[in-house]
Amino acid sequence: MLKLGKKSSVDLLSGDEGWVIFKFSVPIILSYLLQQIYTISDAAICGQTLGVDDIAGVNDVFPILFIFLQFAVGCTAGFSVITSIAAGRGDQARVRRSFAAQLVLGGVLSLALTGVAVLTLKPLLRFIGLSEANPGVWRAAYQYSLVIFLGIFAQLYYNLICSVLRSLGDSTTPLIFLLFSTVLNIGLDLLFILAFRLGVIGAAAATVLAQAVSALLCLLYAFGKYPELHLSGQDFRAELSVYAQHLSQGLPMGLQFSVLAIGIIVMQRALVGFDIGPDGIMAAGNPAQNGFGAANKLNNFLMCPMNALSTAIVSFNAQNYGAGQRQRIRRGFRDATLVSAGFSALISLLVCVFAQPLMRIFVQAGEVEVLAAGVRYLRIEGACYVGIGCLFLLYGFYRAVKRPGMSVVLTVISLGVRVALAYLLAGPVGEIGIWAAIPIGWALADVTGYGYYLLRRAKLLPEE
């Protein structure tokens, strides 16, 4: 067992499982909430300082950026499982080799993702409906995306280092550096856009630079605070099997995260028909699409506690898996499910009661149809948050016990059912059919995930 002896680290290998997971997850919940505030404040600054075409271009490319950036985030989350298992075994040499392997793989992935993203950028912009015929929006979308893609390395390494720290039981340090990154990004936004008048290029550069500075400072802090992360040249000369082991965990998670992003695009395209009237003319304000977009921002915010519990359960389970404490994993998984259900029930109640005032955060009161569409979506989704809460936990569980493929299977079931039902129900039921397809997909994935766990528990977590 690694005796870290750091105040910011939580001992995941002893103590009441439910309390340990909850205590470890609180800083992660705050980090995820802050990340959403970060995104919202960044969008608000751009909305108040950029021109109409610039704002449209930045908003339109979000799904494309999400695909690539989420792949990077997913890979780093998968890599950290190996570090957690080594930490649970108390093997400092393996922790160092894992960290070194991640630094190398992070560089390779950054180059690969940047290359693919830059080469496919124009076709992807056309795929989401942008055209050079509208030069202002096209220019803004292209320039903003290009700068973000050239800076993929910043987000990848920032998330990589934060994931490594969490794998050692430290969920507080990532929160501190995220707070620093948020403040820095806001300051750089104002400097680059208002003072230097760099427009969308300035907005993107502020994001990349803030993440790069935070990643560097976080790396230096990790080196200084954790002796088990002090690397030597020997740590980088690991066998190919070490790199393969990390890729076997990271690539499926990257794929899973990207598939979820693609699902958002597919759902948005399914809604286009509801904004076209019988005369073939697009309805003013695109109520169905804009209602979904605004409600989805709220969804991302409201799901933070459940998502954070999933991240916490990965480090908890992986460390205990490495330590051979299988019964502790079983109890922790049970307790985490109860905690997630409690969070989900509370948030569901709040959403169902306060859906309309929540929507008004993003939608003006005069946009009646957009507001109504968003409220309908929120209430249907909100009543079923326990489904996504359980699904997040299943993702984390299977990642931690070295079954990342099962996590991908659950994603495919959830997304596949969602997309198929959305198109099947859209005609006879209308847009409500699209909203209802999402929790149905969650439910079927949950049944599959928990069913597989109950049937294969003895093999997944054999008796100690």
Mean pLDDT computed over 305-330: 92
Residues with Cβ < 8 Å from 383, sequence gap 6 or more? 348, 351, 352, 439
- Describe the crossing of helices 152-167 and 172-189 by its angle, rounded to 10 degrees: 160
Mean pLDDT computed over 427-441: 84
**Average pLDDT taken over every residue of the chain:** 87
For residue 158, the model assigns a pLDDT of 95
Alpha helices in 16-134 (DSSP H): 17-49, 52-60, 62-89, 92-127
Q: Is 280 exposed, middle or buried (0-12, 13-18, 19+ CB in 10 A)?
A: exposed
For residue 217, the model assigns a pLDDT of 94
Read off the tokens for 182.
């948020």
pLDDT band (50, 70, 90) for residue 304: confident
For 410-431, the pLDDT digits (tens) are 988 998 888 888 888 877 877 7
**Dist. CA 242–CA 79, nearest whole Å:** 11
CA-atom Rg of the chain in angstroms = 22
For 210-246, the pLDDT digits (tens) are 999 999 999 999 988 998 899 999 999 888 999 999 9
Give the global pTM.
0.87
Fill in the DSSP letter of residue 195: I
Mean pLDDT computed over 312-328: 93
**Dist. CA 407–CA 400, nearest whole Å:** 10
Residues with Cβ < 8 Å from 52, sequence gap 6 or more? none
Alpha helices in 134-198 (DSSP H): 135-150, 152-167, 172-189
**Dist. CA 196–CA 186, nearest whole Å:** 14
Say which residue the tokens 């985030």 belong to: 73
Read off the tokens for 45.
């600054």
Query: Is residue 7 scored above 60 in pLDDT?
Result: no
Q: Which residues pair with 9 in a beta bridge?
A: 170
